[in-house]
Amino acid sequence: MKLESGQTAVVTGAAGGIGFALAEALCLRGLNVVMADVEATALETARASLGARGFTVRAETCDVANAAAVDRLAQTVLARFGRVDLLVNNAGVGGRLGPLWDSQPGDWAWTFGVNVFGVANGVRSFLPSMLQQGAGHVVNVASLAGLTAPPFLGPYVASKHAVVGLSESLAAELATVRSRIRVSVVCPGHVQSRIAASERNRPPALAAESRTPPDVLSRIHAGFVAALGEPMPTGELASRVLAGIEKDDFLILTHPQFNAEVRNRLDAVDRATQAA
């Protein structure tokens, strides 16, 4: 998809991190940008910071885990702009570190509600109008954890694998009906963001105390910090994503230093298929 001035983009989770960087990069390309986020105050601050630089952006508070809220977001955007050319399903939460056997129902409901149902809601609410207009691009932000399986982050890993699979299925469906709409799934590694602090947005109804002893959590956290290395600046990440969109890449990988981990998993699948 060629990104051009005058097109309309919707970015969820746009109040900070990857979402804000993508919104900013799209503004610089001249697109009309609708920023959506569950944090109203942070979203208004983000909108104001772009507005102070002369960009015209619209901010809409939206909980992507709420299907009706995403429907309202789509209706609002279409009423204002008439079409959506680029949908970026970026909103996500990090879940909680700890062994899978320590996880609780609220951990799964929260993580899947945002990371998986949030993407599904975006597709369900926006794609029908994109199909009618006959063109567009859907970008689903997954994670490197959607192609690998790091330990002690089970709900998050499962949710991001689901986003990759959902995206593959969506791309196949659009190809089957010969639609010109393209799909990309972004699988970034460590990026400068507040996803590690996403517990701040967990709904009270899904709250649950960690069952993992503090000393164990401390060791797990230290291992993650050592393995992830320095986070990529969000501006660099956004540039790589936009380049992938313009090349119509389905899979957008942004951290080549971790490619070996992806290949290791593919090699294991290859060995199993040869042995079958």
Amino acid at 163: V
| 175 in any annotated domain | yes
pLDDT of res. 62: 98
In tens, the pLDDT along 218-252 reads: 999 898 888 888 999 999 999 999 999 999 999 99
pLDDT of res. 208: 86
- pLDDT-derived band at 108, boundaries 50, 70, 90: very high
| 3 in any annotated domain | no
In tens, the pLDDT along 35-91 reads: 999 999 999 999 999 999 999 899 999 999 999 999 999 999 999 999 999 999 999
Nearest to 138 by CA among 112, 152, 119: 119
pLDDT of res. 272: 96
In tens, the pLDDT along 141-200 reads: 999 999 999 999 999 999 999 999 999 999 999 999 999 999 999 999 999 998 989 999
- For residues 165 and 203, give the distance between their C-alpha atoms in angstroms, rounded to a whole number: 26
Residues of the domain holding 108: 8-275
pLDDT of res. 180: 97
pLDDT of res. 56: 85
In tens, the pLDDT along 4-19 reads: 999 999 999 999 999 9
Percent of the chain with pLDDT over 70: 100
| 2 in any annotated domain | no
Structure tokens at 221: 């956290």
Structure tokens at 149: 């399986």
Nearest to 203 by CA among 106, 95, 271, 58: 106
Calculate the average pLDDT of the chain.
96
pLDDT of res. 29: 97
CATH number at residue 118: 3.40.50.720
| 57 in any annotated domain | yes
- For residues 202 and 206, give the distance between their C-alpha atoms in angstroms, rounded to a whole number: 7
Distance of CA 85 to the CA centre of its chain: 17
Strand extents, DSSP E, 148-204:
182-187
What is the widest separation between alpha-carbon atoms in the chain? 60
Structure tokens at 257: 């230093």
Q: How far is CA 67 from CA 62, 121, 125, in A?
A: 10, 6, 8
Catalytic residues: 156
For the ranges 22-26, 215-219, 236-240, 267-271, the lowest mean pLDDT is seen at 215-219
Domain count for the chain:
1
| 1 in any annotated domain | no
- For residues 128 and 124, give the distance between their C-alpha atoms in angstroms, rounded to a whole number: 7
pLDDT of res. 276: 84
pLDDT of res. 273: 96
Q: Does an H or E element contain 252, and which?
A: strand 251-253
pLDDT of res. 136: 98
